[in-house]
């Protein structure tokens, strides 16, 4: 049974909870359990969207430094690969994921949130990539995803200095999408996740893939892929329902093929 990561399903939303007090430090075992939880959530039909969070006090304060301080290159490769695989899976899976950030999301914790589709930050949250102060750099995609979200200047600033950014600045920098009162953060994320879970899942998955294409293969390749994804949605149950509901002037009731 998992001990450090828990998956619970609530009204179509898979809640992936990091549970390694006091700081949710990211160990090898936590990364392994996280990857397994995400794989399960991705394969379950009763999960239409995901919310990641670390509890009411903090999201994740970074790597377990005591565990990695004496590792060599082979040892650290396993560590960073497990976390990186979890981040890559979050980014690639067709289901929308929302990081509900409370307290600190630093280092590997922030990298995990960056791999989500959306980031909702509590108004007292703090994010950052402090690895440079430890003599290393982000290793699970942090420098890349900050650049995609906020541009190379912001990525250089945060990565070179290791400084920590409070919620309002993080929003201004486009590192998070919403800032929410701390006592409302989970419900805000859950409310939107439920909407995604009940929505036209195939269309949402296509939108996610198209937007990812704009990041990874911008220009004609990404535009061409968007067109093909649009075409492929015609004939699906959700496309038929959505358009018929529009014509009939009623709310659509989406399901899956």
Q: For the segment 23-82, what is each residue's pLDDT rounded down to a tens digit?
A: 999 999 999 999 999 999 999 999 999 999 999 999 999 899 999 999 899 889 988 999
**Domain coordinates of the chain in residue numbers?**
5-197, 200-247
Q: What is the pLDDT of residue 255?
A: 81
Alpha helix positions (H), the chain: 28-43, 65-68, 73-92, 108-114, 142-150, 152-161, 167-172, 185-198, 201-216, 220-232, 237-247
To the question of pTM greater than 0.85 for the whole model, the response is yes
Q: How wide is the angle at C-alpha 55 spanned by C-alphas 175 and 66, nearest 5°?
A: 80
Q: Which of 141, 109, 102 is nearest to 125 (CA)?
A: 102
CA dihedral 157, 71, 63, 42 (to 10 degrees): 110
- Specify the CATH number of the domain 5-197: 3.90.226.10
Catalytic residue (one of 23, 60, 63, 189): 63
Q: What number is the average pLDDT over the span 180-190?
A: 97
With beta carbons less than 8 A apart as the criterion, state whether 18 and 53 touch: yes
Instruction: Report, in angstroms and rounded to the nearest whole number, the Rg of the chain calculated over CA atoms.
Output: 19
Q: 237-247 vs 201-216: helix axis angle to the nearest 10?
A: 110
Q: Which residue among the candidates 103, 111, 122, 139 is catalytic per the annotation?
A: 111
Strand-pair partners of 33: none
Determine which one of 14, 84, 108, 213 is catalytic. 108
> Of 27, 86, 217, which is closest to residue 19 (Cα–Cα)?
27
Of 33, 82, 91, 131, the active-site residue reads 131
Q: Clarify whether 63 is annotated catalytic.
A: yes
- 152 in active site: no
Provide the pLDDT confidence category of residue 1 given band limits of 50, 70 and 90: low
Give pLDDT tens digits for 118-164: 999 999 999 999 999 999 999 999 999 999 999 999 999 999 999 99
Contacts of 84 (CB under 8 A, 6+ apart): 139, 140, 141
Q: Are 17 and 53 in contact (CB under 8 A)?
A: yes
Phi and psi angles of residue 248, each rounded to the nearest 5 degrees, phi first: -85, 0
222 part of the active site: no
pLDDT bin (cut points 50, 70, 90) of residue 176 is very high
Q: How confident is the model over 66-110, as pLDDT tens digits?
A: 999 998 998 899 889 999 999 999 999 999 999 999 999 999 999
Q: Could you tell me how many residues make up the chain?
A: 257
Q: What does the alpha-carbon distance between residue 149 and residue 174 come to, in Å, rounded to a whole number?
A: 6
Per-residue model confidence (pLDDT) at position 257: 45
Q: Please give the CATH architecture assigned to the domain spanning 200-247.
A: Orthogonal Bundle (1.10)
Catalytic status, residue 111: yes
- The Cα 109–Cα 31 span in angstroms is 11
pLDDT score of 2: 62
């Amino acid at each position: 049974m998992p001990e450090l990561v828990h998956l619970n399903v609530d009204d179509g939303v898979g809640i992936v909870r990091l549970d390694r007090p006091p700081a949710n430090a990211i160990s090898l075992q936590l990364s392994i359990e996280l990857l397994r939880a995400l794989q399960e959530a991705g394969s379950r039909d009763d999960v239409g969207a995901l919310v990641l969070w670390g509890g009411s006090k903090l999201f994740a304060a970074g790597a377990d430094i005591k565990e990695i301080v004496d590792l060599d290159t082979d040892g650290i490769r396993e560590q960073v690969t497990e976390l990186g695989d979890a981040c890559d899976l979050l980014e690639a899976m067709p289901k929308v994921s929302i990081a509900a950030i409370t307290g600190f999301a630093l280092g590997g914790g922030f990298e995990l949130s960056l791999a989500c589709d959306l980031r909702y930050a509590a108004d007292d949250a703090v994010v950052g990539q402090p690895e440079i102060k430890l003599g290393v750099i982000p290793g699970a995609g942090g420098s890349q995803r900050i650049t995609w979200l906020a541009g190379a200047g912001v990525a250089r600033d945060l990565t070179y200095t290791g400084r920590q950014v409070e919620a309002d600045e993080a929003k201004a920098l486009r590192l998070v999408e919403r800032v929410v009162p701390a006592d409302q953060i989970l419900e805000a994320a859950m409310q939107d996740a439920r909407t995604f879970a009940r929505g036209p899942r195939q269309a949402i998955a296509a939108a996610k893939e198209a937007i990812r294409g704009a990041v990874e293969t911008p220009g004609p390749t990404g535009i061409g892929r968007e067109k093909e994804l649009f075409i492929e949605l015609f004939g699906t149950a959700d496309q038929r329902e959505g358009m018929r509901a529009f014509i009939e002037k009623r709310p659509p009731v989406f399901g899956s093929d």
